[in-house]
Amino acid sequence: MKIYTKTGDKGTTALFGGSRVPKHHIRIESYGTVDELNSHIGLIRDQDINTNYKTLLNSIQDKLFTLGAMLATPPEKETLKNGKERLNIPKISALDITALENAIDSMNDALPPMTHFVLPGGHQTVSFCHIARCVCRRAERLAAALNDIEPVQPDVLTYLNRLSDYLFVLARKLSLDLHADEIKWVPEKL
C-alpha cells in the first residue's frame, strides 16, 4: 500500500464510499478530530498507570477508529444497492456507552465528592487526560454540527459525550492514585 496517492493534492479527499469533499469539510473535521483524540488517548495509555485503565483506554481507541469510520461514511453511502451495509464493522452501541458509564461509576465511588470546578493539572498524566477531554468535547461539537447538516448515528454523539465525562473522572481518579493535588477553582472576590 502506497502512503502517498497524490489524489488529495488539490485539497479534496475521498470519503468511505468514494465521494470526494474538500479537506476542510465538516465531516473531515469531525473524524479528523476523533483521530486527534485517539492520539491523545494513546499518550495517556503510554503513562505509568494501572493496567485496568490501559486496557479500557485500548478498547476506547478501538471504538474511536470505529467511530471515525462511521463519521467518514456519508448517509447515502451507508448501504449498497443490494441493501447490504457498506461499512461492514461493528458499530458503536449502547453496550459501548454502558461500559464507559460503568467505569465512570466505579472510579467515582472512590473519589471525594466534587464541591468546586477543578483546574486542569497537578500531574503530567492528569493534564494529558484534561487535554484529551477538551479534544473530545471539540469532536463532539463537530459531530453535532455535522448532524445538523447530515444525520449522524445517535450513538456516535452519545459515545463522545460520555467519553468526555470518562476522561474527566479518569483525571480526578489519577490525581488520587498519583497523590497529585487537585486544585479547586474558587473565583476571586471582586
Mean pLDDT, to the nearest integer, of 150-164? 96
Residue 28 lies in a domain: yes
The model's pTM is: 0.89
Q: For residue 82, tell me if it sits in a domain.
A: no
Give the model's pLDDT for residue 16.
67
State the pLDDT at residue 114. Answer: 83
Contact between 171 and 133 under an 8 Å Cβ cutoff? The reply is yes
User: Whole domain around residue 142: which residue ranges?
Assistant: 21-73+89-183
Specify the pLDDT at position 143.
Answer: 97
Residue 118 lies in a domain: yes
Separation CA 151–CA 4 (nearest Å): 31
Q: What is the CATH number of the domain that holds 112?
A: 1.20.1200.10
According to the model, what pLDDT value does residue 11 have?
Answer: 73
In a domain, 117, yes or no: yes
pLDDT band at 185 (very low <50, low <70, confident <90, very high): confident
Residue 189 belongs to some domain of the structure: no
Does residue 152 sit within a domain? yes
- Within 8 A by CB and 6+ apart from 184, the residues are 115, 116, 117, 118, 119
Instruction: Indicate whether 52 belongs to any domain.
Output: yes
Q: Tell me, yes or no, whether 80 lies in a domain.
A: no
User: Mean pLDDT of all residues in the chain?
Assistant: 88
Provide the domain count of the chain.
1
- Rounded distance, CA 160 to CA 131, Å? 15
